[in-house]
Amino acid sequence: MKLWLVLCLVLIWVELQNGDCQQLKRRKDVGENRIRPGGKRLKRPLKPKEAGGRGQSLLTQVLDKGRFLRLGQSTSLTPGKNMELRCKGNSIGWSYPTYLDTFNDSRLSIKQSDKYSQLILTSPSAADTGPYSCWVIVCDGTECEKDHDRSYASYIYFTDKDNLFVPSAIHFEIEYLRPDRPAVVPCRVTDPQAKVSLHREVPPEELIANETLLTYEPTKGFVLQSPSPEYQGVFYCKAVTKGAPQISTKYQLLYVEVPVGPPFASLEAFPDSVTGGDNINVTCTVLGEPEVDISFTWVYPGQDFRPVHIKTSWRLVNRGMGYITRVSQSVLTVEDMETIDFGDYMCKTKNQHGETILTINVT
Ligand SMILES: *[C@@H]1O[C@H](CO)[C@@H](O)[C@H](O)[C@H]1NC(C)=O
Ligand SMILES: *[C@@H]1O[C@H](CO)[C@@H](O)[C@H](O)[C@H]1NC(C)=O
Ligand SMILES: *[C@@H]1O[C@H](CO)[C@@H](O)[C@H](O)[C@H]1NC(C)=O
């Protein structure tokens, strides 16, 4: 075990104080922390565990004149000035804010050379604020994988005083509140020093963050630990540094009540009794979480022999009290029923908790 780690553990016992270990570690990792103009260190929320905590970070920023800065947990850079990151090794993987991939941004380029890999982002802006990481790829023959012990990450803020909030392509975002997991109002900032508050639009009200239920993390936004229906509504964040306060995008929080388990499905045939030559619609309906796609698989008597139409659709419904549910439906239509079409129609639906199989007999 490294000496500083041992010291840290001892210090934790003695002081039971946050931050001391961080300070110690930062001092050890030369250049990891940026010294602010006032000579004060940035006070940041502690991250649970830095990826690849072992040894020194291999992730560096290339400064002018061939100088390098080893990047720590977070870094603040100036927008507009091209950024070059390097990671030592002859086979390196990278990750960067997904937004850069979504827009297939030509400002981003990655080059691998014998000794290091280079990530260049030209004219970065506030929107490029986010986690950047690199890792060593180890190969055994043709099988390659990420070496988790040699993975290094830095959250990079492109601090822009005109964009205290990381700009979002969407001006009105919907966030779902679920009883079983924390909810996030993702108003991330470009300056970790900004003071951020959360506000409800109607009735106008500021929600006071506290250590337990509602916390603010500059890299995430407001985290609501145990969401309940009372947090529904339209919210926005307000950030202040030195100048005038700035307002974020608006967020609509919707409460979702979802049965935890395999899809909650039902199966119906209309009409419920048919004779040869009739048409029939067999409808499979699933109630579920708003953004979860449901896939339907049908097994029916005329499979492979008879043409059928299958139409799948979904819509969001408000089930009172603002509870939002997604209703997904697959309708299998058989026209001009023949003898072969009579029998069992089976609808299979799946989610991460399991599979639901329903059967209806058409006579
Ligand atoms: C992204 O851009 C590259 C180069 O401009 C191009 O080759 C590639 O097909 C693009 N990918 C997508 C998904 O648009
Ligand atoms: C924490 O803040 C939330 C939201 O404002 C509030 O509902 C809750 O009562 C607070 N908890 C404590 C322990 O102050
Ligand atoms: C089956 O559904 C389609 C589309 O909703 C509808 O046009 C048709 O009349 C229905 N057929 C029967 C037999 O209910």
Q: Ligand 1, closest atom to CA 104?
A: 1
pLDDT tens per residue, range 200-244: 998 899 999 888 899 999 999 999 998 888 888 899 999 999 888
Is the pLDDT confidence value at 42 over 60? no
Percent of the chain clearing pLDDT 90 (strictly above): 51
Stretch 32-52: mean pLDDT: 39
How confident is the model over 155-180, as a mean pLDDT? Answer: 87
Task: Give the Å distance between the CA of 242 and the centre of ligand 2.
Answer: 28
Distance CA 123, CA 37 (A): 24
Question: What tokens appear for 132 in the block?
Answer: 């950047």
Question: Domain residue spans in the chain?
Answer: 1-30, 37-158, 172-255, 264-362
Ligand of minimum distance to the alpha carbon of 337? 3
Q: Is 104 in the pocket of ligand 1 (CB under 6 A)?
A: yes
100 CA to centre of ligand 1 in angstroms: 12
Q: Report the topology of domain 172-255.
A: Immunoglobulin-like (2.60.40)
User: What's the CATH number for 37-158?
Assistant: 2.60.40.10
Residue 41 is predicted with a pLDDT of: 40
Residue with the smallest CA separation from ligand 1 atom 12 is 104
pLDDT bin (cut points 50, 70, 90) of residue 50 is very low
Cα angle 339, 344, 347; round to 5: 130
Residue owning the nearest CA to atom 8 of ligand 2: 213
Q: In the 3-class helix/strand/coil scheme, how is 105-153 assigned residue by residue?
A: CCCEEEEECCCEEEEEECCCCHHHCEEEEEEEEEEECCEEEEEEEEEEE
- Ligand 3 pocket test, pick from 272, 275, 279, 333 with the greatest ligand atom count within 8 Å of Cβ, gives 333
**Ligand 2 centroid distance, CA of 57 (Å):** 38
Q: Would you call 231 helix, strand, or coil by DSSP?
A: helix
> Does any ligand 2 atom lie closer than 6 A to the CB of residue 14?
no
Query: Ligand 3 centroid to 325 CA: how many Å?
Result: 24
Q: Provide the pLDDT for residue 287.
A: 84
Whether this prediction's pTM lies above 0.85 is answered by no
Ligand 1 atom 10: the closest Cα is on which residue? 104
Through-space distance between the first and last CA atoms of the chain, rounded to whole angstroms: 73
The number of the ligand nearest the C-alpha atom of 279 reads 3
In this chain, the answer to whether the domains covering 172-255 and 264-362 adopt an identical fold is yes
Q: Is 296 exposed, middle or buried (0-12, 13-18, 19+ CB in 10 A)?
A: buried
The CATH code of the domain at 264-362 is 2.60.40.10
Q: Which ligand is nearest to the CA of 108?
A: 1
